[in-house]
């Protein structure tokens, strides 16, 4: 069974298209967990309407707590073998579940990557991304991928529950990547299919402002780094090329965001050194490029180098 988890919050103009795209799938073995996160625009009533039409829609109403808490409630109540996170203003491609069912049937796989299409509010196609760059773990010990939100792949619930994977509640930016990194550390047999199965709506009012996003990155990226290091330590994860690159990215996100936003720097040097020391104690070596090494050693020196590079470009 496919468990489709849809967090819902004030998306009344869009939610029907999303739910209709699930309802019209040819595959019948699915459940859609609609988590109404305290909507005030009637979105919750629309969810109840669809549940009344088809019992495979399961509705849960809760006080507003954010997308992470809503997805976690969906996970706590999911019953399917496979999990797919879908946003309420997006929709599924026709026959998406048919392609996914064919992909996993009889296969020893635990993750399925696929393509995505982006649309504007006039439903004009803005662009697309395909999922073709998968490398055999036996050759490279890892998968070669970009960083994508959890809507872009199918996950095995057994792995999620075995490793107690949940979205970090209270983190408004970067929680998707933290969850993705953790899951990909422990999955063993990812595959990809050359189909664009997810349709993403790019809404003008759905994202945080750039300044707000940067402030949140500066505040919460150190927390995400600490969560990742703890997960690696608790699960005995070994360093791979893919993981080293993601740790490098996370260290740099901490340092660069706090270079621009200065109000969260207190205690940051110590937090970076603790994370670095923990990773090195577990045999991690290749994640620390020159920028990470400089920042871990002396953040003031790192900021000075960044200022100098910016000045030289002027």
Return d(Cα 127, Cα 117) in angstroms, integer.
Answer: 6
Contact call for residues 83 and 154 (beta carbons, < 8 A): yes
pLDDT band at 190 (very low <50, low <70, confident <90, very high): confident
- Among the residues of 78-195, which ranges form H helices? 96-104, 137-140, 157-162, 175-186
How far is residue 140 from each of residues 52, 115, 136, 226, measured CA to CA in Å?
49, 23, 6, 26
Whether the predicted pLDDT of 123 surpasses 70: yes
Return the pLDDT at 131.
62
Averaged pLDDT for residues 120-144: 63
Which of 39-43, 150-154, 163-167 comes out lowest in average pLDDT?
Answer: 150-154
Backbone angles phi, psi at 145, to 5 degrees: -145, 165
Question: pTM value?
Answer: 0.91
Return the pLDDT at 310.
75
Averaged pLDDT for residues 182-209: 83
Q: Taking the C-alpha atoms of 84, 71, 244 and 260 in order, what is their torsion angle to the nearest 10 degrees?
A: 130
pLDDT in tens, 64-102: 999 999 999 999 999 999 999 999 999 999 999 999 999
| 3-class secondary structure, 122 | coil
pLDDT in tens, 202-220: 887 554 456 788 899 999 9
Return the pLDDT at 314.
67
Return the pLDDT at 312.
74
Handedness of CA 180, 72, 50, 123 (dihedral sign): negative
pLDDT in tens, 36-63: 999 999 999 999 999 999 999 999 999 9
Instruction: Tell me how far apart the 2 most distant CA atoms of the chain are, in Å.
Output: 64
């Amino acid at each position: 069974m496919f468990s489709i988890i849809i967090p819902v919050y004030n998306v009344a103009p869009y939610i029907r298209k999303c739910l209709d795209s699930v309802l019209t799938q040819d595959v019948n073995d699915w459940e859609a967990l609609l988590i109404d996160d305290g909507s005030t625009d009637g979105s919750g009533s629309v969810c109840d309407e669809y549940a009344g039409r088809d019992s495979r829609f399961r509705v849960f109403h809760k006080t507003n707590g954010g997308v992470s808490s809503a997805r976690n409630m969906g996970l706590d109540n999911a019953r399917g073998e496979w999990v797919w996170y879908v946003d309420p203003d997006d929709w599924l491609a026709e026959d998406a579940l048919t392609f996914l069912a064919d992909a996993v049937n009889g296969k020893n796989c635990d993750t399925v990557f696929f393509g995505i299409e982006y649309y504007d509010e006039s439903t004009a196609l803005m662009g697309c991304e395909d999922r073709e760059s998968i490398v055999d773990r036996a050759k490279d010990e890892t998968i070669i991928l970009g960083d994508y939100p959890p809507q872009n792949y199918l996950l095995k619930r057994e792995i999620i529950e075995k490793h107690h994977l949940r979205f970090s509640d209270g983190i408004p930016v970067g929680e998707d990547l933290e969850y993705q990194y953790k899951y990909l550390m422990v999955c063993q047999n990812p595959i990809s299919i050359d189909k664009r199965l997810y349709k993403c709506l790019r809404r003008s009012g759905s994202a945080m402002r750039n300044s707000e996003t940067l402030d949140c990155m500066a505040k919460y990226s150190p927390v995400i780094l600490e969560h990742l290091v703890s997960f690696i330590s608790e699960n005995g994860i070994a360093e791979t090329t893919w993981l080293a690159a993601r740790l490098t990215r996370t260290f740099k996100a901490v340092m660069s965001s706090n270079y621009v936003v200065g109000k969260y720097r207190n205690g940051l040097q110590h937090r970076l050194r603790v994370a670095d020391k923990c990773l090195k104690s577990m045999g991690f070596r290749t994640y620390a490029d020159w920028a990470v090494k400089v920042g871990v050693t002396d953040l003031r020196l790192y900021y000075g180098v960044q200022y100098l590079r910016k000045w030289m470009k002027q």
